[in-house]
Amino acid sequence: MELFPALSRRLGGGQLERIALKVALLVVSLVVAVATDADAQDVAAGQVTFTRDVAPILQRSCQVCHRPQNMAPMSLRTYEEVRPWARAIKTGVVTRTMPPWHIDKKVGIQRFKADRSLTDEEIATIVKWVDSGAPRGNLDDMPPPVQFQDFGAWTIEPDV
């Protein structure tokens, strides 16, 4: 069944089908190119991802407590562990209840050793990540896991 019999007779057998196939391939190629470019622009425009942006913040400020067999109620080391808690994490950092840091930085000493409090920029990054659906990101962007000291192990040499 021919869709355009007069045009098909004029172009010759099968030529219309070849042209239609070429046009369809061109359209599909353009759609794929535009979609790929849009993804690249999202990353360049500041799309926040767990692997590239959020994981380093959690490693520095949260995982000291939020890791297996530690004092916090949940581990925050992997995307799979963090994703279910995304909205609660956002609430905790916006209200500055997490990470707990009860020192007023506007009074007295401004810099502290092992300060795990979040900067305004880090809070904004976490908020943007949660508000954009908490995307995982590229696994190649994930920083290596932090190796914490085992405080259950004996680290002092006996003095006998």
Give the domain ranges of the chain. 5-43, 50-141
Indicate whether this model's pTM tops 0.95.
no
Neighbours of 18 (CB within 10 A): 10
Cβ–Cβ contacts within 10 Å for residue 14, how many? 9
User: What CA–CA distance (Å, rounded) separates 111 from 155?
Assistant: 29
pLDDT, mean of residues 45-51 = 90
Q: How far is CA 118 from CA 75, 101, 146, 149, in A?
A: 18, 9, 18, 23
Higher pLDDT, 6 or 51: 51
- How many other C-beta atoms can be found within 10 angstroms of the C-beta atom of residue 4? 11
Q: What is the pLDDT of residue 31?
A: 47
State mean pLDDT over 88-109.
87
pLDDT band at 96 (very low <50, low <70, confident <90, very high): very high
Q: pLDDT class for 28, splitting at 50, 70, 90?
A: very low
Average pLDDT over residues 59-70: 92
